[in-house]
Structure 1
Amino acid sequence: MALLISDIIFGVCIVLACSYLFHVVSRKTSNLPPGPVGWPLVGSLLQLHGLPNEALARLSKQYGPLMSVWLGCKATVVVSSAEMAEEVMHRQNHVFSGKISLDAATAFGYDQHSFVLSQVGPRWRALRRMSNNEMFTPRRLDAMKGLREEKVGALIQHIREAAADGRAVDIGECAFSITQNLLACTLFSQDIADLSSELTPGGFKSLVYEMLEIFSKPNLCDFFPALRWIDPQGLRRRNGNALTRLYVILDQLIDEHLRAYEAAAAKGEAKKKEDFLDVLLELTRDPNSGFTRENIRPLLSDMFIAGSESSATTIEWAMTELLRHPDKMAAAQSELKQAIGAGSFVKESDIMHLPYLMAVMKETLRLHTPGPVVPRRADATTTLGGFTIPKHTPILINVWAINNDDTLWDKPTAFLPERFIESDVNFNGKHFQFMPFGAGKRICPGIPLASRTVLLVLASLINSFSWTPSNQVAPEELDVKAKFRLVLQKAAPLKAFPSPLKDM
């Protein structure tokens, strides 16, 4: 037995030594960007403690704005400057538009049908055209704005009831519920989240939370592909179970829309395309479109998993910063008072007349970017910054590091909405020092809806109520620690007491 244990230990040492030599030799012979050699087998994974965006930023200060790190068995290139980001996401956008494969997303072929996760190809291009030309156009969004305003009115009423009872409001929880409802009424004209309830096991809201949790966990299979056959953490299996339950709910919504089509046809009428699901179902009726019931479900799932979390997180961070900076809150409320009257109901048409509030949203997105690290993949071998990037190399654009670059931003850690007043810097993917929604082919197609949602909810919250933190701390002492769960969330939920503002 002792001899067997000794042989095993000796074998492990040989494997570790070979792994270490492989990393050293690979770095010297491959012309990859500079970076830490890392440990045997695990590479630099042990150096990425804490928030990954901050850990990568620390390493980039030592190795430069273009570096390579070994994450398990994979060499990964990290971009941490606006100049290199422009090269990746603009000048060589055709090369760096691939997506990093996530093992958990392979359940039911989700990664093949997902707009967010699938590789660039004919179907991805068809989805992009549909998003730009049918789903997120001003005309389509304007058609649904009355329903979205109605849902925000329900949120304000919910908070009024909490104020009357003297209860604190969990801003993040409310923001998550309302963004899900705003997405739902735009996608299929109905609510899916109850503002007054906690997470209901098996409910839509809890399923989205569950999938966010699954995709946020570091997965050994992504770092060590040889382990995929055993799925050691069970993340692919858990995602498959969650998708099964989510698809049951989506199928019910699809069936309701199909029954409406049948009812209209029975009357000799054509059903009006009222929401996004109507647009998608219309495409499934064309056999040449490539759209089926099975592959529109992942698209709907994408919108809820990515859209609701990032918008809700931005709202919570914005409220946190406004409470931490009473002068900024006063400036935003003063603008609203002059534009529509304090306590008055905010409409979507009002938000275009609120430049300071727009600056608050931009500064929040800069300081607390929901997606701090943007993943890409090289679809061909290319040269970047004088270094060779082999085909299928994962690329991580550290947007958080760029947003905190003191050569680009004055006082980058300070909350200064004024920096965006009379500035042409925008989040349309053309300014590489500010890319909260990405850039290039992969820029988020839902920017028009996301920006409307955040501004409408934020304006309604601060124009209807004054707010006091529930933990009775001084404004500047409000906790701003973050945690990573697919997006960069506030670690401690923001809870505050609302007091209604009177109509003017």
Structure 2
Amino acid sequence: MEPLTTVTLIACSLVFLFTAYWALLNFKITKNLPPGPLKLPIIGNIHQLKGGVPHRVLRSLARKYGPIMYLQLGQVPTVVISTPKLAQEIFKTNDVVFSDRPTTIASQILFYKAQDIAWAPYGSYWRQMRKICTLELLSAKRVRSYSFIRDEEIMHMRKSLKSSAGRPLVLRDVLVQLVNDVICRATVGDICKDRSTLIDVLFDIMRAVTSFNMASYYPRLQFLNVISGKQAKWLKRQKQLDIILEDILEDHKNNRRRGDNDQEDLVDVLLRIKEKGDLDQPITNDNVKGVILDMLIGGTSTSSMTLEWAMVELMRKPEILRKAQAEVRATAKGNTIADTDIQNMHYLKMLIKETFRLHGPPILVPRLSRKDCIVDRYNIPVNTRILINAWACGTDPDSWENPESFVPERFENSSISYMGSDFELLPFGGGRRICPGIAFGIGIIENALANLLFHFDWELPNGLKPHEIDMTEAIVLSNLPKIPLQVVPIPLSQQK
């Protein structure tokens, strides 16, 4: 036999053996799995996620293969849900089955071995911490107690915008600063000495959690994170974060001993509960720091993202901007906007709902099946990752008329809400793992947007026309406009 033929046969044999071994490692009962595209050896369907932002790519695939779709992403079996009807089966019918979170090396390192709430596995610890969050940290009474912080920071935002009157500015910078300051003050108070460093570290953590990481698709190849240097970077950031959070805890403990805590922030509440010591599962400093991290990250990107997209849509459609401003200015009493005023701003609320529908978090935090289950007549094996394409649900043509058009009036006679019971609109998720900070986040968004509309008129810079605004999406920390919105604020006082 010729040498070349021998080498070819050996190479083919090795490829066959490796492929067979890989298939054996990933063997599962494949009877009646949801439909999906053909997968390649080793990589599965990873290559089919290219070509655009993930939520749009996944919706395109779903239109071909179905609203419940099976993908093999490396070693990770994944089911993608793309319609409200099937989202209801996940969040309501089978909520307990799909109430777990996948374990990732990033969540283990950065979130104190998943001892927070968002990434903690479903069980008694998670139920206890969720109860604390609902009844103590983010109750309606507690959220109202932070309204003065929100109002003070909105006042600072107004002053900043007035100082830039008549000049173009990047609105994202202003909105991110506002949301960061509100959430930081409500969570850790005014005594954080390293707030700017803390914010930088938080944004790095969000990048680590949301960015593409090949090793996350191959749990048996975690050494890739070591080789690439990612693990070392995460460990360094986590150590830096831990030093800041430990200082925050010590400062709060000292203030509590001195009795200097007339206004409790979230850290004070957690320390009080920890010190009381009557929990079924006692909590440690790491548990407290994990929950603080959730609070700081949870609303930062989502709230500022929603505000920016709302303003993008308003600048693209001046008639909607004028209608929203007319309502806000007719409803507010005096020169300030109270919470009671906002309750009567019905068009503002419709506008925010429509922004959530088109520009909310596009793909929700993954879930994990805790046991074998049947969804829409298909078998979902245990330990399958579940992705809910909330954007696809929000643009489902069977649920919405003109689904990709921005039309706030569609909610005028609609009872659909974003509280998790209507699966056509899922900016905060649904089921038992729905985001617990809805009231807090909505309070920031409604008040900030109302103030932007009440106190300022808005123009586009450099002769830009509304239809020329770039609507391209960029998945960075969240679903943001690729080109940040630039606007020219005109204070209402100058108009008068």
Aligned partner (choices 275, 286, 304) of residue 312 of structure 1: 304
Aligned partner (choices 149, 152, 157) of residue 151 of structure 2: 149
Aligned partner (choices 237, 252, 268) of residue 278 of structure 1: 268
User: Structure 1 residues 443-452 or 302-311, which shifts more?
Assistant: 302-311
**How far 1:12 moved relative to its partner?**
5.6
Change (3 A) 1:144 1:24: closer
**8 A Cα contact 2:363 2:387, kept in partner:** no
1:272-304 Cα shifts (integer Å, max 9, x gaps)? 462211110101203343222221111111122
Matched, 1:184 2:179: no
**8 A Cα contact 2:347 2:408, kept in partner:** yes
The 3-state SS of whatever aligns with 1:34 is: coil
Matched, 1:42 2:43: yes
Matched, 1:362 2:364: no
Matched, 1:251 2:246: yes
1:168-207 Cα shifts (integer Å, max 9, x gaps)? 222112111111111122223328799xxxx96xx12211
Match of 2:460 in 1: 469
Supply the distance in 1 between the matched residues of 2:28 and 2:302 (Cα, whole angstroms).
38
Amino acid in the other structure paired with 2:123: G
The 3-state SS of whatever aligns with 2:370 is: coil
Supply the distance in 2 between the matched residues of 1:39 and 1:469 (Cα, whole angstroms).
48
Change (3 A) 1:39 1:168: same
Amino acid in the other structure paired with 2:289: R
Change (3 A) 1:12 1:300: farther
Matched, 1:383 2:374: yes
Match of 1:158 in 2: 160
Amino acid in the other structure paired with 1:224: Y
**How far 1:123 moved relative to its partner?**
1.5
The 3-state SS of whatever aligns with 1:502 is: helix
**8 A Cα contact 1:169 1:496, kept in partner:** yes
The count of residues paired between Structure 1 and Structure 2 equals 489
**8 A Cα contact 1:181 1:190, kept in partner:** no
TM-score by length of 1: 0.91
1:400-423 Cα shifts (integer Å, max 9, x gaps)? 111111111111111111111232
Supply the distance in 1 between the matched residues of 2:469 and 2:178 (Cα, whole angstroms).
24
**8 A Cα contact 2:111 2:290, kept in partner:** no
Matched, 1:409 2:396: no
Supply the distance in 1 between the matched residues of 2:355 and 2:127 (Cα, whole angstroms).
31
The 3-state SS of whatever aligns with 1:497 is: strand
1:123-150 Cα shifts (integer Å, max 9, x gaps)? 1111111111112222111122112201
Match of 1:211 in 2: 205
Structure 2: segments with no counterpart, 5+ residues: none
User: Structure 1 residues 307-316 or 142-151, which shifts more?
Assistant: 142-151
Supply the distance in 1 between the matched residues of 2:248 and 2:22 (Cα, whole angstroms).
53
Match of 1:303 in 2: 295
Change (3 A) 1:332 1:2: same
Supply the distance in 2 between the matched residues of 1:3 and 1:186 (Cα, whole angstroms).
71
Match of 2:34 in 1: 33
Structure 1: segments with no counterpart, 5+ residues: 265-269
**8 A Cα contact 2:110 2:234, kept in partner:** no
Supply the distance in 2 between the matched residues of 1:117 and 1:323 (Cα, whole angstroms).
37
Change (3 A) 1:4 1:205: farther
**8 A Cα contact 2:36 2:65, kept in partner:** yes
Matched, 1:235 2:230: yes
Amino acid in the other structure paired with 1:187: T
Supply the distance in 1 between the matched residues of 2:207 and 2:386 (Cα, whole angstroms).
23
Supply the distance in 2 between the matched residues of 1:23 and 1:285 (Cα, whole angstroms).
47
Match of 1:267 in 2: none
Amino acid in the other structure paired with 2:48: Q
| Sequence identity percentage | 28
1:222-260 Cα shifts (integer Å, max 9, x gaps)? 111121134143333322222221222222222221111
